[in-house]
């Protein structure tokens, strides 16, 4: 294998990382989560999501770093542009490369380190409160004031996580359009 082999180029690893990220985001956000919610009893759905989300948010946090590390140089009329982090940080790339990659990273990190664990903690508190109340959190009311507060908190956290995730998905698509433009 020559030293000019495609295996030594960052480009295929960049595209594979991007495809993995976009595929995971689309599947988890719009297919897997919805199908699981409709198909599983609520307790099993919660168990499944609690196991999947740390992996998903970990991917959404790690893969933007891989994208930045493998950012390929671009051939120009005179020479090539910088690659890796140096290329991501070039002024010409700040809007369409640094910004979406940063948004994806921050979205994954916020969900992995803060919102996700807080949501899981709230789910456990609701389960404990269900035992105290003798009633499921999703049963018809009336609910105890404690359960009402926990349901409200869970709804807010779930909504925040969904919005943060959606920002990550939109940023991933934004970056995909940039990558597509580079192929022209």
* Selection from 156, 162, 157 nearest residue 107 by Cα: 162
DSSP structural state of residue 144: -
Which of the two residues, 79 and 68, has the higher pLDDT score? 68
Q: Taking the model in full, what pTM does it have? A: 0.91
| Proportion of the chain above pLDDT 90, given as a percent | 82
Mean pLDDT over all residues of the chain? 93
* Selection from 166, 164, 32 nearest residue 109 by Cα: 164
Burial state string for 3-12 with b = 16 or more CB within 10 A and e = fewer than 16: eeeeeeebee
Out of 26-40, 69-83, 110-124, 143-157, least confident range = 69-83
Q: Looking at residue 133, what is its pLDDT?
A: 92
Distance CA 88, CA 84 (A): 6
What SS3 state is found at 75?
A: strand
Out of 7-11, 18-22, 176-180, least confident range = 7-11
What pLDDT, in 10s, does the model give residues 41-78? 999 999 999 999 999 999 999 999 999 999 998 877 78
What SS3 state is found at 80?
A: strand
Phi and psi of 80, rounded to 5°?
-130, 160
């Amino acid at each position: 294998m020559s030293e000019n082999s495609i295996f030594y180029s960052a480009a295929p690893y960049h595209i594979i990382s991007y495809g993995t990220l976009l595929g995971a985001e689309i599947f988890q956000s719009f297919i897997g989560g919805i199908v699981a919610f409709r198909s599983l009893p609520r307790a099993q759905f919660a168990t499944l999501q609690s196991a999947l989300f740390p992996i998903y948010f970990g991917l959404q946090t790690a893969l933007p770093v891989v994208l930045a590390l493998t950012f390929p140089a671009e051939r120009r009329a005179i020479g090539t542009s910088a690659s890796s982090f140096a290329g991501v940080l070039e002024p010409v790339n700040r809007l369409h490369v640094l910004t979406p990659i940063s948004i994806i990273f921050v979205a994954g990190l916020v969900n992995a380190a803060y919102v996700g664990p807080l949501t899981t903690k709230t789910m456990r508190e609701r389960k404990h409160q269900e035992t105290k109340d003798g009633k499921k959190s999703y049963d018809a009311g009336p609910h105890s004031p404690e359960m009402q507060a926990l349901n409200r908190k869970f709804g807010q956290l779930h909504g925040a996580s969904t919005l943060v995730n959606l920002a990550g998905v939109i940023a991933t698509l934004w970056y995909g359009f940039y990558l597509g433009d580079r192929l022209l």
